[in-house]
Structure 1
Amino acid sequence: MVTTQRTATPLPPPTERRRLRVAHSLTQGQLAARLGVSRATVRAWESGRRVPDGSDGEAYAGLLSTLARPTDPQAPAGKASGPVPEGTPAAPEPLTPAQAFDALYAFCAPALVRQTYLLTGRRDLAREVVEQAFQQAWQRWPEVARDRDPAGWVRAVAYDCALSPWHRFRPRYRHPEPPPTDPADRALLHALLGLPPAYRRTLVLYDGVGLDLPETAAETEASTPAAASRLTHAREAVAACLPELADPAELHRRLLELASAERLRAARPTVVRTVGERRNVFWTRAAIAFTVTIVGATTLTLRTAPTHYEAPIAPAQAVRGVPPRAALGPLSGEEIALRRKLRQSEASGPERLMPDLR
């Protein structure tokens, strides 16, 4: 009787299996090709519906052990409680934050640049948003390192930056870039860019990256029925432009080919970390300078402000109660005689009084 041997390496939980695959930027189809099984089998293993066993389970456990060894930043470096048997490999040393970040960047950045190119159709913008996403990850590395899916965290930030509507107002991105040289790739990219951003993101995550529907819905911040509706409409729109891509498997293959056709290379992880640290220093100094300016302006205002209350000068007002000026009426006889006398006096002049000097 043939007995099935148990795997020497225990299998991690289903969620950890998926996390290890995504952390290395592997799709379910690529992982299935390595193991020689179908994509549906890998999806069932990661969802927990089936338990890997036999030779396939042995190969799957070995592959997961290999994936977890260099890239898992949260793997504890435990010490053996007893004597170590001869021939047992030494436990790996714990990675420093910089080493863990560099490992995550080395495995995720190349594939992420190609994915963001499918979202934007711009090569320079794809590199830029991926570098910005990893710079934010380095700034918040303790939080990202403890996340159950660091690669998903970075991917979500990169996709948000790539689909930002403010890029259209930047001078360097106002004009379109040269399209792919292959007519088939050019037609597929044109069909992708014609989709609404939410539909395009859902299609790339499901048919390009290989996430399942609940994971796609969670990353796009939508419900599962809404994500399914977006995926259906996106596939129909692409199939209307390219009928040969009505098959989801063919669409998945063509998306991978389009992303791999462009020679897109990400910057080195040390450069990304250095630029991110310099940017942090710049904004920290800018915040300090702004705070000092506000404090100085407040101090100057307090020093120059008056120490007592001065009543304001009341505005001018018209004086009331004065009788109006009356018009002149007819003169009496005495007034006429007086006026005649005064006029005659003005003609001859008044008598002058001479001082007596005696």
Structure 2
Amino acid sequence: MTQSPAPPLPPPGERRRLRERGALTQDQVAARIGVPLKTVRAWEAGRTAPRGRKRDEYARLLAAFAEPGPGVTAGRGTDGTETTEPLERQTPPDAEPSEADPANGTMTPAQAFEALYTFCAPALVRQAYLLTGRRALARESVERAFQLAWQRWPEVAQDRDPAGWVRAATYDYALSPWHRFRPSHRHGEPPPADAADRVLLDVFLRLPPPYRRTLLLHDGVGLGLPETAAETEASRRATAKRLLHAREAVAERLPELADPSGLHRRLTGLAAAERLPTTKPTTVRVNGERRARFWTRAAIAFTVAVIGATVLTLHTAPTRYQQPVPAGETVQGVPPKPAPGPLSFEQVILRDKLRSQPQNGPERLVPEAR
């Protein structure tokens, strides 16, 4: 019995897209093929090419992601947990559930959006939970990111990495410093049940947000250093320093996690231990449309109010300029001083008192003859 020939190896730019479609990290691909992590990174970057048996295994692994089964995406999530999640039923059975090419003529924009959400949302919720330590904020961050993606869907659909676009938006919202002013942020959430997970989450959350994000992307999600630097909008040198300092801070409290592979397994286990359900993609999309309509109407109402206030000001403002009266000239238009009327009984008594005793009191001045 002869073995079927290995499929052709896709170009370097396609290898990473197929791996992400299969929801595998570079560490997981390296473990399956039996090569070091840096070798997989070099294959995806095009610096080297696999040969022999490794090439055949690598090509078959990528080919399996190029033609997924109808209606199901199976594999490991970007956080390392096993996932087998059904796509939305309105997706045609022969449609390819790929977030990288939704406009392939067989999927409507809404179907492509929901396929992307079904593929990425469960893993992104776990990642956002590791970044914030808050379950509600993690779900909210993912929903807001996908609502923003739906508002900019033409841009996201044409992006070379839609999953990375949504992940960056999720991280930005989750790490926003404005959350600390929310009343719900003042109350903490129940920590993980396992004591070791509580310690790891506490150590991870004590890192500065840029270090936390860099460590999660590189050692948690499995991105390479160039991809991590690009997503965090930092130079490679700065990203490498953040990664090094973050690893040192974690290893100082947890020496057994000095190895990046061990840290990856612990982060994966910590995220997988939490029950973090996601909202239905249709609900997220509809809520995003409602939010967009609300803010559009609010902006229109504010604009109308400003225009109305401007028109009222112009209508009530003086139509001509009145010059001030120069010094030394008589002021015209002043009404004449009216004649005094009769005094009341109290006023008459006060007048007589002032006339009879003009010298009394420090407020009166009496002229003296000289």
TM-score normalised by length of structure 1: 0.77
C-alpha contact 1:24 1:108 (8 A) present in aligned 2: no
* Aligned partner (choices 96, 106, 111) of residue 69 of structure 1: 96
> Which of the numbers 24, 27, 31 marks the counterpart of 1:26?
24
Please show how residues 7-46 of structure 1 align to structure 2 within 5 Å. 7=7, 10-23=8-21, 25-32=23-30, 35-38=32-35, 40=37, 41-46=39-44
Distance 2:102 2:281 in 1: 21
Please state whether the residue corresponding to 2:321 is helix, strand or coil: coil
Partner of 2:79: none
Q: Distance in 2 between matches of 1:189 and 1:162?
A: 16
Q: Secondary structure of 1:69's partner? A: coil
Q: Is the 8 A contact 1:239 1:245 kept in 2?
A: yes
Q: Distance in 1 between matches of 2:16 and 2:144?
A: 25
Q: Distance in 2 between matches of 1:164 and 1:278?
A: 23
Aligned to 1:175: 187
Partner Cα separation in structure 1 for residue 291 and residue 36 of structure 2:
42
Shift of the 75–173 alpha-carbon distance from structure 1 to 2, 3 Å rule, reads closer
Q: Distance in 2 between matches of 1:37 and 1:256?
A: 21
State the 1:222 CA deviation.
Answer: 1.0
Aligned partners of 1:265 and 1:232: how far apart in 2? 33
* C-alpha RMSD over aligned residues: 2.7
Displacement, 1:51? 3.2
Tell me if the contact between 2:18 and 2:66 (Cα under 8 Å) persists in the aligned partners.
no
Question: Hey, what does 1:290 align to over in structure 2?
Answer: 302
Q: Which residue of 2 aligns with 1:116?
A: 128
* Structure index of larger Rg: 1
Structure 1, 247-256 or 42-51: larger mean CA deviation: 42-51
Name 2:227's counterpart in structure 1: 215
Q: CA 1:289–1:202 in 2, change beyond 3 Å: closer, same or farther?
A: same
Query: Do structure 1's residue 188 and structure 2's residue 200 form an aligned pair?
Result: yes
Please state how far the C-alpha of 1:254 moved relative to its aligned partner: 0.5
Report the counterpart of residue 237 of structure 1 in structure 2: 249
- C-alpha separation between the residues in 2 aligned to 1:165 and 1:199? 15
Q: Could you list the per-position Cα deviations for residues 24-53 of structure 1 after superposition, in whole angstroms to 9, with x for gaps in the alignment?
A: 5432233455x5444625333312234356
Superposed counterparts of 1:199-210, under 5 Å: 199-210=211-222
- Which residue of 1 is the match for residue 348 of structure 2? none
C-alpha separation in 2, matches of 1:3 and 1:59: 12
1:172 CA drift (Å): 0.5
**Residue identity (%):** 63
Q: Write the distance in 1 (CA, Å) between the matches of 2:102 and 2:190.
A: 44
Structure 1 unaligned segments of length 5 or more: list them. 78-92, 318-326, 331-358
Name the residue aligned to 1:56: 57
Deviates more, 1:56-65 or 1:218-227: 56-65
- 5+ residue gaps, structure 2: 69-94, 330-366
* CA deviation after TM superposition for structure 1 residue 289, in Å: 0.7
Give the Cα separation in 2 of the matches to 1:249 and 1:6. Answer: 30
Preserved contact between residue 207 and residue 252 of structure 1 (Cα < 8 Å): yes
- Call closer, same or farther: CA 1:314–1:276 in 2, change over 3 Å: farther
Cα distance, 1:316–1:269 mapped onto 2, change above 3 Å: farther
Contact 1:22-1:152 within 8 A present in 2 as well: no
Equivalent residue of 2:67, what SS? helix
Change over 3 Å in CA distance of 1:192–1:299 after alignment to 2: same
Residue of structure 2 in register with 1:278 after alignment: 290
User: Which has the higher relative contact order, 1 or 2, with Cα contacts under 8 A spaced 6 or more apart?
Assistant: 1
Q: 2:209 aligns with which of 197, 205, 223?
A: 197
Q: Tell me, yes or no, if the aligned pair for 1:15 and 1:46 is still in contact at 8 Å.
A: yes
Q: How does 1:299-338 map to 2 (within 5 A)?
A: 299-312=311-324
For 1:16 and 1:173, locate their aligned partners in 2 and report how far apart those are by CA, in whole Å: 42
* Alpha-carbon spacing, 1:193–1:72, altered in 2? closer, same or farther (3 Å): closer
Q: CA distance change for structure 1 residues 75 and 118 in 2, over 3 Å: closer, same or farther?
A: closer
Q: Deviations over 1:285-329 (max 9, x none)?
A: 011111111111122222222222223467999xxxxxxxxx886
Contact in 2 for aligned 1:28/1:39 (Cα 8 Å): no
* Structure 2 CA distance for partners of 1:302 and 1:243, relative to 1, 3 Å: same
Query: Do the aligned partners of residues 256 and 45 (structure 1) sit closer, same or farther apart at CA in structure 2, a change above 3 Å counting?
Result: same
Matched-pair contact (CA < 8 Å) for 2:149–2:166:
yes
Indicate conservation of the 8 Å contact 1:52/1:60, yes or no.
no
Contact 1:23 1:151 (C-alpha < 8 Å) held by counterparts: no
How big is the shift at 1:173? 1.1
| 1:16 shift after superposition | 2.6
Match runs of 1:94-113 below 5 Å: 94-113=106-125
In structure 2, C-alpha distance between the alignment counterparts of 1:22 and 1:73, rounded to whole Å: 10
Structure 1 stretch 299-308 or stretch 153-162: which is displaced more?
299-308
Partner Cα distance (1:176, 1:279) in 2? 28
Write the deviation string for residues 325-344 of structure 1: whole angstroms up to 9, x where unpaired.
Answer: xx8867xxxxxxxxxxxxxx
One-letter amino acid of the structure 2 residue matched with residue 69 of structure 1:
E
Q: Structure 1 residues 73 and 227 mapped into 2: Cα distance closer, same or farther (>3 Å)?
A: closer
Q: Structure 1 residues 66 and 37, CA, compared in 2 at 3 Å: closer, same or farther? A: farther
